[in-house]
Structure 1
Amino acid sequence: MEFLNVIFNNPWIWLILGVIVMGLELIVPGVYLFWVGGGLITTGVSVVAFADLPGVPLAVQIIIFVVALFGWVLAGIYLQNRARQAAPSALNAGLSQYAGRHVQVVQVFADAHQASQPGCLGRIRLEDTTYGVISRHPLKEGQFVVILAYQDGKFLVEPTSN
């Protein structure tokens, strides 16, 4: 047992283990190893802070590690929950999630007046797909438009003010 006290009385062991475990997070992602590494580094810093004492016993170091690990895990859970609440979810929002996005017209068809619909028909490129659009205003190829809504299988668009 004296051998372990000699090894772990050196703060570099805790600090190096912390960096290695945090580095493993890059290889085996899961976020939990980051918090374990934080606990290890905190323990190493604590051993440095108490270096004036005749030596911090291994049992005290383990208690410091457990408390630090618990604190890091709670901080991680808090941060992850806060990030989840701040990020809006577009899950099941369908194509209506694109309302407000500025896109470019890639193709314009004949005026829709001839097709008994008001406005102009065309196609826009949105991400990697083209979609049909209806506009109350004339459209030109290459023109930027803003998506207002998705209805009846087409995007309703309006030319941007640029």
Structure 2
Amino acid sequence: MAEMFSTLGTWNWLIFGLLLMGLELLAPGVFLFWLGLAALLVGLLSFAISPSWQLQLLMFAVFAVAAVPLWRHFARRNAGVSKSNPFLNKRSDALVGRVFTLEKPIVDGAGTVRIDDTIWRVAGPDAPAGSRVRIVRADGASLTVAAA
């Protein structure tokens, strides 16, 4: 086993790093990427300073452990990216406050309204077809309306 470790060199680390990053493509989870990056760093440092195999393994361990807080930092920083479009995947919430024309009358509290290319169910006070209504609340695929 010691003989195998003693033959570790730059190319072994670079290939190992690329292999780990390639495995990340097959099983995404961002974990193998950071281990692959640690292996690539050890490979580049091995090229520059030719450390012993013990030091190479130690560097890999340190880089791999340091990658976890680094990954958390980037993940936390990029978590706010979706704030640029707060209604992404919440289409019905984006409709609140807008005014539309009833397609079918609201009878016994239920009717429909056409919004773009979609027919939405609406709930609210009885009103004839063609009436203007304002969306006051969105609950999944059902909208609550009031007279506009």
TM (norm. structure 1) is 0.59
User: Structure 1 residue 80: deviation in Å?
Assistant: 0.8
Q: What residue in structure 2 maps to residue 79 of structure 1?
A: 74
Check 1:82–1:100 CA distance in 2 against 1; reply closer, same or farther (3 A cut): farther
Alignment match of 2:52 (pick from 33, 49, 57): 57
- 2: CA distance between counterparts of 1:71 and 1:98? 45
User: Structure 1 residue 99: deviation in Å?
Assistant: 5.3
- Residues 37-116 of structure 1 aligned to structure 2 (within 5 Å): 37-51=36-50, 56-88=51-83, 95-98=92-95, 109=103
> Which consecutive residues of structure 2, in runs of 5 or more, have no partner in the other structure?
107-111, 123-129, 138-142
> Which consecutive residues of structure 1, in runs of 5 or more, have no partner in the other structure?
116-120, 137-148, 157-162
Q: What residue in structure 2 maps to residue 29 of structure 1?
A: 28
RMSD: 3.8
Q: What residue in structure 2 maps to residue 145 of structure 1?
A: none
User: Structure 1 residue 31: deviation in Å?
Assistant: 0.9
Q: What residue in structure 1 maps to residue 19 of structure 2?
A: 20
- 2: CA distance between counterparts of 1:109 and 1:2? 79
User: Structure 1 residue 5: deviation in Å?
Assistant: 1.1
Q: Which amino acid aligns with 2:120?
A: Y
Check 1:123–1:155 CA distance in 2 against 1; reply closer, same or farther (3 A cut): farther
TM (norm. structure 2) is 0.63
- 1: CA distance between counterparts of 2:97 and 2:15? 49
- 2: CA distance between counterparts of 1:135 and 1:45? 70
- 2: CA distance between counterparts of 1:96 and 1:3? 60
Check 1:108–1:135 CA distance in 2 against 1; reply closer, same or farther (3 A cut): closer
User: Structure 1 residue 122: deviation in Å?
Assistant: 4.5
1:98-145 CA-to-partner distances (Å, cap 9, x unmatched) read: 5599xxx9x9749x9xx9xxxxx841146xx42268885xxxxxxxxx
Q: Which amino acid aligns with 1:5?
A: S
1:6-60 CA-to-partner distances (Å, cap 9, x unmatched) read: 2x0x201000000000110111111111110010001001101114xxxx21111
- 2: CA distance between counterparts of 1:151 and 1:47? 64
SS of residue matched to 1:87 = helix
Check 1:71–1:154 CA distance in 2 against 1; reply closer, same or farther (3 A cut): same
SS of residue matched to 2:114 = strand
Aligned length: 124
